[in-house]
């Protein structure tokens, strides 16, 4: 094929990849993503606040962790709840997906005519719908996508081009500050590494590792933190596709195996010494070190609850770096078929699990709709599994327009725009009370009444029931 034909094929890949990437945003009756339900519920609360219909709640001025919510608020007011979710999530997926593709191809230093779409597209598609997506951390997710766009422009660009790209970081900061700090660190490393000979870059890596170690020390010394050696299992980033149970071990193991095979070919082609001296390898190494060293939970004093899932957030960056490292490896028909099979299996499992979650949310919605309008409703969180988190937050979405999710965590966390006064009658304002509800240990007080509990019931716990609670009753105990 001539060069013009190759370019034509490349342009066809852009809308094709976009359409395929958005299919999971529309293939079910709802987008299943744990914290998304909380985001859209709080968009509804924000509309009530603006109407003066939510006494005791207010919208606090905030410079970050708000971009996705602002987008959702605007869409909620103009197109309604369901379409607002789909459009806001779709835009976030496209920004992240194309940011990752652009970044991978730019750092892999491949010409447009020879870009390895067969490797990059399935990997990015799976990462786009990985753990961070299904946990519903959309402000972080959106910020990460914007930062990948910035880094792709920054890499190899002139200082004038880099300066012109700076507004992207402002938008990313409004979404979430953590990816911006990460991007600035990556940009500083790239700028320094490009100015020295490859043989001297190991010194730069050591400096980067020292900075990470110092960051770990400062966080642990100044704040209450949680860290686990289990974070070692996140360093490749393949954990992003290990989602709802053991059945995801097969695509997880398949992706790891294909990455290992590609890495073996890369070592054979370049040699270990030359590979270690490349910027993509060093960026992955620094990201892997960050996943391992930085505490997974940090309690900052301005927040009501810890900033959590830090290792899982960083593992998304590590996964993108791994794809960047391996993208130049030519793919055979066998590896293409294997990678496509892994991706198809992964999305088939997601479709099945999404359908099951939507069936259970349908039942939850029926139970909630039977309650008198305007009531306070709570439920419990039996485990920290992703499935339990999705169902736990499903109550938020089921309450939109009908009831109040009394233990919604956002106002008490002080990490989001909506804040609550004590005894506001709409949402608990104390984090300890919110956690007690989640663990089924909340002691109902007279001021909470009327209060209803919604809980899983039936022989296989696939149905939902509700009951009114009494003052002095422990929320998680059966009637």
What tens-digit pLDDT sequence spans the chain (479 residues)?
A: 444 444 555 567 778 889 999 999 999 999 999 999 999 999 999 999 999 999 999 999 999 999 999 999 999 999 988 999 999 999 999 999 999 999 999 987 644 444 678 899 999 999 999 999 999 999 999 999 999 999 999 987 788 888 999 999 999 999 999 999 999 999 999 999 988 888 888 899 999 999 999 999 999 999 999 999 999 999 999 999 999 989 999 999 999 999 999 999 999 988 888 889 899 999 999 999 999 999 999 999 999 999 999 999 999 999 999 999 999 888 888 999 999 999 999 999 999 999 999 999 999 999 999 999 999 999 998 888 898 999 999 999 999 999 999 999 999 999 999 999 998 989 999 999 999 999 999 999 999 999 999 998 877 777 889 999 999 999 875 55
Residue 346 maps to a domain = no
Does one domain contain both 308 and 383? no
Distances (CA, A) of 154 to 68, 158, 196, 223, 313: 24, 8, 17, 33, 22
The answer to the question of residue 49 being in a domain is no
Q: Are residue 310 and residue 445 in the same domain, yes or no? A: no
On whether the CB atoms of residues 375 and 434 are closer than 8 A, the answer is no
- 97 neighbors 125 (Cβ within 8 angstroms): yes
Return the residue matching tokens 């791994």.
Answer: 322
Answer yes or no: do 86 and 175 share one domain. Answer: yes
Residues 325 and 401 in one domain: no
In Å, the largest CA–CA distance within the chain is 78
Please name which of 32, 88, 5, 115 lies closest in space to residue 364, comparing C-alpha atoms. Answer: 32
- 8 and 138 housed in the same domain: yes
For residue 134, what are its two tokens? 């299904």
Q: Is residue 387 part of a domain?
A: yes
Is 478 inside any structural domain? no
CA angle 144–383–405, rounded 5-degree value = 75
User: Do 278 and 368 belong together in one domain?
Assistant: no
d(C-alpha 466, C-alpha 365), whole Å: 11
In a domain, 54, yes or no: no
Q: Which of 262, 297, 331 is the last residue in one of the domains?
A: 331
From the list 219, 148, 151, the residue with the least C-alpha distance to 189 is: 151
- DSSP lists the bridge partners of residue 405 as 377
Q: Indicate whether 477 belongs to any domain.
A: no
Question: Is 341 contained in some domain?
Answer: no
Does residue 326 sit in the same domain as residue 358? no
Q: Which of 262, 296, 331 is the last residue of a domain?
A: 331
First CA to last CA distance, the chain:
72
Is 15 inside a domain boundary?
yes
Total domains in the chain come to 2
Sign of CA dihedral 21, 181, 154, 175: positive
User: Is the domain of 398 the same as that of 464?
Assistant: yes
Query: 317 and 393 in one domain?
Result: no
Is residue 243 domain-shared with residue 320, that is, in the same domain?
Answer: yes
Looking at the structure, tell me whether residues 310 and 370 fall in a common domain.
no
- 408 and 297 in one domain? no
Range of the domain at 166: 3-30+62-331
């Amino acid at each position: 094929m001539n060069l013009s034909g190759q370019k034509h094929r490349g342009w066809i890949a852009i809308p094709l990849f976009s359409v395929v990437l958005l299919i999971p945003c529309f293939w079910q009756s709802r987008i299943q993503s744990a914290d998304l339900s909380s985001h859209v519920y709080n968009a509804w609360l924000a509309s009530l606040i603006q109407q003066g219909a939510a006494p005791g709640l207010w919208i606090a001025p905030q410079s970050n962790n708000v971009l996705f919510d602002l987008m959702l608020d605007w869409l909620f007011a103009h197109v309604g709840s369901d379409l607002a979710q789909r459009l806001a999530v779709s835009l976030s997926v496209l920004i992240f997906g194309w940011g990752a593709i652009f970044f991978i191809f730019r750092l892999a230093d491949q010409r447009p005519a020879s870009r390895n779409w067969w490797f990059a597209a399935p990997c990015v598609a799976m990462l786009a719908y990985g753990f961070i997506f299904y946990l519903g951390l959309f402000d972080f997710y959106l910020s990460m996508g914007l930062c990948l766009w910035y880094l792709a422009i920054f890499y190899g660009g002139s200082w004038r081009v880099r300066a012109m790209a700076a507004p992207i970081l402002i938008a990313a900061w409004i979404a979430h500050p953590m990816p911006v700090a990460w991007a600035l660190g990556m940009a500083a490393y790239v700028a320094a590494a490009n100015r020295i000979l490859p043989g001297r870059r190991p010194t730069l890596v050591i400096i980067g590792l020292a900075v990470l170690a110092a960051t770990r020390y400062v966080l642990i010394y100044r704040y209450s933190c949680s860290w686990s050696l289990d974070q070692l299992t996140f360093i490749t980033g393949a954990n992003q596709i290990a989602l709802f149970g053991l059945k995801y071990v097969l695509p997880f193991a398949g992706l790891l195996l294909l990455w290992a095979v590609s890495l073996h070919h890369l070592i054979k082609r370049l040699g270990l010494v030359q590979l270690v001296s490349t910027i993509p390898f060093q960026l992955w190494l620094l990201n892997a070190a960050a996943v391992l060293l930085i505490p997974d939970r940090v309690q900052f004093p301005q927040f009501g609850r810890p900033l959590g899932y830090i290792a899982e957030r960083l593992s998304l960056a590590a996964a993108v770096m791994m794809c960047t490292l391996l993208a130049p490896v030519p793919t055979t028909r066998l590896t293409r078929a294997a990678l496509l099979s892994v991706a198809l299996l992964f999305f088939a499992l997601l479709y099945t699990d999404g359908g099951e979650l939507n069936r259970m949310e349908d039942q939850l919605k029926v139970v909630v709709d039977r309650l008198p309008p305007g009531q306070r409703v709570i439920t419990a969180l039996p485990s920290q599994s992703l499935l339990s988190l999705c169902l736990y937050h499903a109550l938020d979405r089921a309450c939109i327009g009908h009831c109040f999710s009394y233990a919604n965590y956002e106002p008490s966390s002080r990490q989001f725009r909506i804040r609550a006064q004590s005894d506001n009658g709409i949402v608990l304002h104390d984090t300890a009370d919110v956690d007690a509800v989640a663990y089924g240990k909340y002691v109902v007080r007279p001021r909470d009444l009327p209060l209803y509990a919604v809980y899983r019931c039936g022989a296989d716990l696939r149905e939902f029931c509700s009951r009114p609670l009494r003052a002095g009753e422990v929320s998680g105990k059966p009637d």
